[in-house]
Chain A
Amino acid sequence: MRTEDLIDRLALDPPPRFGFGTAFMTATLLGILVAGGVFLAVIGIRPDIGRAAESARFLFKFVATVPLALGALGVALRLSRPGMAAGGWRLVLGAVPVLLAAAVALELYQVPANLWQSRLVGANAGFCLILIPLMAIGPLALLIAVMRRGAPERPALAGGFAGLAAGGIAATFYAMHCPDDSPLFVAAWYSAAILLMGVAGCLAGRRFLRW
């Protein structure tokens, strides 16, 4: 087939109905709904939420998970478009470990050393490692599916950020349930669960996002 013939054929194919940005946003919202559905069906909000909402430790969990989800979503979106750098979202994402380290330092300063271990281990560590990935699978699948419409130059990297985003969304829900509010617990177990999703996203990206 001559190249001009190919062009004639391409020109007859109508344009996509939705822009990539709209599709990505839709997939993200659907992912949040799916994770929220699993959350309500399987664990639900902790009973003492009213009292917890007044505690700085409880609130800090969202200061870590929400920027993580937003930053990773922003980076994943930009990496899905050829010729774009990760941009300012990287800074939002980069702030998360800094915030977490500061909170850990503050916790170690405030809490006597003999309580460190029980704060770190908490009551629900195994739960956290299972439930965050369980709630993250839906959003990750939706993000990878929508990113197939994009064209990431580095598929594994883009997929990895989608995984972190899905982990961040799931962790935000999980934080409403989990009674362990210490930054020590969050830094150890939430991070482990979210990084696990990052690795899963990398693998999914390498497999499904090549084009």
Chain B
Amino acid sequence: MWDQGLEQEWADLMRMALAGDSAAYRRFLLCITPHLRAMARSRCRTLGAPDSETEDIVQEVLLAIHLKRGSWDSSRPIGPWIGAIVRNKIIDALRRRGRRTNVPIEDVMDTLAAEEQAGGLAQLDIDSHLATLKRRQQDIVRSISIDGDSIRETADRFKMTEGAVRVALHRALKSLAQLCRIQST
């Protein structure tokens, strides 16, 4: 599916990531994202879905890759593993689209108008899911990702231990993936 040298590099990074190297893991995710985006975009175009859905799919795929990373057998090529996850998430997105087409057109118009008023920024699904998480989880997610805080600083700010922040972070990620899935069924 992808160039063999590329896949080799991804596999090496993922092996380091699974051994606990978070910098390698970040690099792995950054490296694959443009490829995931290209795949998602071409699928959206063939199926006549709006481009705005591409980024939702990319983020869902990243969450799935993250939560299921233990299921990759590190003695095997990583390309087919990533490919299967992308396929699964695109099918989810299609189901969601299938359901969305049943929404009355007036509702869609309302939504579109509302989104534009919100400053023209694309409203990503993940943001609306984030809003349904527990207060504390939301705070932690926002604190880390948007302000770029490390776990340490977040722990200090919320007067929690680093371990508790990590657990809250992990639970929030799982809930986000779960919410993406529920929306698709």
Chain A residues near B (Cβ < 8 Å): 1, 3-16, 18-21, 23, 80-84, 149-151, 153, 210-211
A9: which of B68, B69, B85, B173 is its contact (CB, 8 Å)? B173
A7: which of B18, B29, B68, B82 is its contact (CB, 8 Å)? B29
Tell me, rounded to whole Å, the shortest Cβ–Cβ distance linking A46 to chain B.
41
Between-chain CB contacts (< 8 Å), 30 pairs: A1-B145, A3-B59, A5-B145, A6-B59, A6-B62, A6-B63, A8-B144, A8-B148, A9-B141, A10-B26, A11-B25, A11-B26, A12-B22, A12-B169, A14-B20, A16-B70, A20-B70, A81-B72, A81-B73, A82-B81, A82-B85, A83-B84, A149-B68, A150-B68, A151-B64, A151-B68, A151-B85, A153-B84, A211-B64, A211-B68
Residue pair B71, A80 in contact (C-beta under 8 Å): yes
Tell me, rounded to whole Å, the shortest Cβ–Cβ distance linking B184 to chain A.
9
In the complex, what distance in Å separates the CA atom of A4 from the CA atom of B59? 10
In the complex, what distance in Å separates the CA atom of A5 from the CA atom of B177? 16
Residue pair B181, A210 in contact (C-beta under 8 Å): yes
The 9 closest A-B CB pairs, nearest first, are: A83-B80, A82-B84, A11-B26, A5-B145, A83-B84, A151-B68, A16-B70, A83-B81, A7-B29
In the complex, what distance in Å separates the CA atom of A3 from the CA atom of B20? 22
- Measured between beta carbons, the chain B residues less than 8 angstroms from A3 are 33, 55, 58-59, 62
In the complex, what distance in Å separates the CA atom of A5 from the CA atom of B126? 12
Given contacts A6-B63, A11-B29, A151-B68, 6 further A-B contacts (CB under 8 A): A1-B130, A7-B26, A10-B62, A12-B166, A15-B18, A82-B84
Residue pair B69, A16 in contact (C-beta under 8 Å): yes
A20: which of B23, B71, B83 is its contact (CB, 8 Å)? B71
